[in-house]
Amino acid sequence: MIGYLALILATGVERLVELVISKRNARWAFERGGIEYGQGHFPAMVALHTGLLVACVAEVYFFDRPFIPWLGWPMLAVVALCQAGRYWIISSLGHQWNTRVIVVPGLGRVERGPYRFSWMRHPNYIVVAIEGIALPLVHTAWVTAIVFTALNAVLLLAFRIPTENRALAALDARGAPAS
């Protein structure tokens, strides 16, 4: 349990680092005329992702979930791959990466990293979905994996992806190059 708690705490610290990067990038975007879309769902997204970390620890502790090596080690590897994917996405988007939906008129879409593939419009959400399953399963928190995945899909991504698509369509309509 101590190792898993360290993993969850490290994940939480990493998310705080992401928020610092996001705030810096948001300031950069707004200084260049950035327009934010879908502000209303952001608090729900923060609550859901914070809840994932809390639920991982709570389920393992309160329901005495065991560490099962044949499941835990591969899931830890998947979590590490998700982290690498997350930073590939962040570095590919550069200043345009944000936890919010902010587009800067005239910049156009990023077409490097995972965004160079036309079928990969929202790679970050693929990473989040996989990580939302893998992170709890490192220590057999299967209820958390199921609940987070369902809530992420139904309550969040059902709003977030269409919001991003509208923002990108508005960006394209302003004459910026499309992918």
The answer as to whether 12 is a domain residue is yes
For residue 179, being part of any structural domain is answered with no
Instruction: Give a yes or no: residue 80 inside a domain.
Output: yes
- Digit-coded pLDDT (tens) for 30-81: 999 999 998 888 888 899 999 999 999 999 999 999 999 999 999 999 999 9
**Separation between Cα atoms, residue 105 and residue 100, nearest integer Å:** 16
Residue 106 half-sphere exposure, CB side, CA atoms within 13 Å? 4
Structure tokens at 28: 């950069």
Which residue is associated with the tokens 């708690």?
5
Closest listed residue to residue 77, CA positions, set 12, 18, 7: 7
The set of residues, in sequence order, having a beta carbon less than 8 Å from that of 140 and lying 6+ positions away, is 60, 65, 66, 67, 68, 71, 72
43 is a domain residue: yes
DSSP-based three-state secondary structure for 101: strand
CATH number at residue 165: 1.20.120
Residue 178 lies in a domain: no
> Low-confidence residues of the chain, pLDDT below 70?
172-179
Number of folded domains that form the chain:
1
Does the residue 13 lie in any domain?
yes
**Domain for residue 177, yes or no?**
no
Q: Which domain holds residue 120?
A: 2-101+109-172
pLDDT given for residue 177 in this prediction: 42
Residue 76 lies in a domain: yes
Q: What angle do CA 47, 37, 157 make, to 5 degrees?
A: 50
Contact partners, residue 31, CB within 8 Å, separation at least 6: none
